[in-house]
């Protein structure tokens, strides 16, 4: 679209944010954008201008650290009702996006419809659209992961999520405990799906406080049975006490370093045949491990790549120390005539 460069040049994250949609549309046309874009923004401005202008004024300091798409862009926001996701909706509207707040009820708690009503009320007050979805998640092992997968399936791949830099630091430690490689240690990647990733949890709480929003507290977030909760409430505070400083910014910077390393290694391994054991033995082991990690995760529904222990076992097959190894989930890797293959066995 010819107006693309003009849009990005004056949208949030790429320059000064216009105070109103009219100012934005004038900037678009002044920079060579199409009048169709400008007309669309004028219509949006007429409908929602007071809300957007006042929100942008109140939260300008926070918006300067966000990465929302250009004003007028349709944006689905996943909203649980907690402080992070409530702040996400507020800031998304303030950025000028055409926001739809989607609340997903997992049916795991009684009274969950109250949470949906609260999200609906806030969305309507902000001038955002609202949609409630319900998913069925059976109780059992890995409940948190299965609920997350069901939620993401409903929200879709382009939905914005309310992850903060605190979440990124916690996820990095979770992945470290799993034995993840550089890609996992890169944690949550910045991008359009995580527009408030540079904010702290205290920032999202402040946004809610300014707007008079009472976020919902999910009691499961304090349950020590979940690894992430122990990292949040026990591990990070202990490490911060030992280090004598806030570790979240440090962990986030390290995540950026690991992201660069992971991207480089993916480029290096992209041209390799991950099934050729001779090739895998000739390249640096770190490159071979990345190639294997990407190969093993293809064709599966696993959200996470194989852990370090799994790659260790497959590397033993590559070296000839073993002829096969189990991957879990009724899958195994076998070596035949110098080639690796994945074999799936029927479930008992």
The pLDDT value recorded for residue 1 is: 40
In a domain, 224, yes or no: no
**Residue 146 sits in the same domain as residue 281:** no
pLDDT along the chain (348 residues), means of 10: 36 40 47 44 53 88 95 94 97 95 81 84 96 79 72 88 98 92 93 95 98 90 89 97 98 97 96 97 96 87 78 97 92 96 83
**Residue 213 sits in the same domain as residue 307:** no
**Residue 278 sits in the same domain as residue 203:** no
Distance (Å, whole) CA 296 – CA 308:
12
**Residue 59 sits in the same domain as residue 206:** yes
**Residue 65 sits in the same domain as residue 199:** yes
Nearest to 198 by CA among 229, 228, 160, 168: 168
In a domain, 167, yes or no: no
**Residue 327 sits in the same domain as residue 208:** no
**Residue 203 sits in the same domain as residue 288:** no
Residues of the domain holding 292: 270-344
What DSSP character marks residue 160?
Answer: B
Is 287:272 a contact under the CB 8 Å cutoff?
A: yes
In a domain, 136, yes or no: yes
Give the other-Cβ count within 10 Å of 130's Cβ: 19
Nearest to 288 by CA among 298, 309, 274: 274
**Residue 8 sits in the same domain as residue 93:** yes
Q: Domain holding 55: CATH number?
A: 3.40.50
**Residue 210 sits in the same domain as residue 285:** no
In a domain, 226, yes or no: no
Phi, psi of 215 (to 5 degrees): -70, 155
In a domain, 225, yes or no: no
**Residue 213 sits in the same domain as residue 275:** no
The pLDDT value recorded for residue 152 is: 79
Q: State whether residue 88 is helix, strand or coil.
A: helix
In a domain, 264, yes or no: no
**Residue 212 sits in the same domain as residue 122:** yes
**Residue 208 sits in the same domain as residue 335:** no
In a domain, 166, yes or no: no
| HSE-up (13 A, CA, CB side) for residue 20 | 11
What's the number of domains the chain is made of? Answer: 2
In a domain, 188, yes or no: no
DSSP 211-271: HT--PPP-GGGG-TTSHHHHIIIIIHHHHHHHHTS--HHHHHHHHHHHHHHHHHHHHHHTT
């Amino acid at each position: 679209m010819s107006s693309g460069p003009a849009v990005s040049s004056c949208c949030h994250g790429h320059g000064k944010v216009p105070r109103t949609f009219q100012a934005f549309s004038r900037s678009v046309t002044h920079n060579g954008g199409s009048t169709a874009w400008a007309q669309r923004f004028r219509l949006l401005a007429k409908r929602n201008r007071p809300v957007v202008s006042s929100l942008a004024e109140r939260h300008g300091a926070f918006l300067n650290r966000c990465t929302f798409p250009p004003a007028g862009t349709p944006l689905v926001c996943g909203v649980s009702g907690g402080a992070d996701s409530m702040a996400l909706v507020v800031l998304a509207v303030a950025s000028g996006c055409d926001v739809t707040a989607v609340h997903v009820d997992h049916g795991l708690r009684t009274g969950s419809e109250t949470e949906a009503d609260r999200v609906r009320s806030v969305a309507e007050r902000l001038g955002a659209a609202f949609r409630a979805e319900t998913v069925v998640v059976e109780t059992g092992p890995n409940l948190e992961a299965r609920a997350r997968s069901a939620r993401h399936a409903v929200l879709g791949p382009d939905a914005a999520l309310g992850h903060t830099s605190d979440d990124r630091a916690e996820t990095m430690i979770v992945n470290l405990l799993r034995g993840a490689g550089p890609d996992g240690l890169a944690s949550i990647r910045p991008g359009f799906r995580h527009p408030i990733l540079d904010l702290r949890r205290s920032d999202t709480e402040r946004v809610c406080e300014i707007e008079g929003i009472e976020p919902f507290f999910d009691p499961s977030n304090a349950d020590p049975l979940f690894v992430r909760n122990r990292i949040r409430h026990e591990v990070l505070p202990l490490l911060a006490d030992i280090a004598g400083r806030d570790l979240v910014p440090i962990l986030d910077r390290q995540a950026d370093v690991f992201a660069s390393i992971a991207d480089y290694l993916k480029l290096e391994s992209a041209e390799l045949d991950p099934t050729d054991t001779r090739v895998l033995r000739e390249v640096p082991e770190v490159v071979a491990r990345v190639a294997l990690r990407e190969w093993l995760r293809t064709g599966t529904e696993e959200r996470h790549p194989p852990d370090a222990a799994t790659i260790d076992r497959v590397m033993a097959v590559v070296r000839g120390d073993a002829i096969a190894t189990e991957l879990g989930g009724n899958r195994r890797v076998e070596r035949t005539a110098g080639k690796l293959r994945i074999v799936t066995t029927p479930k008992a």
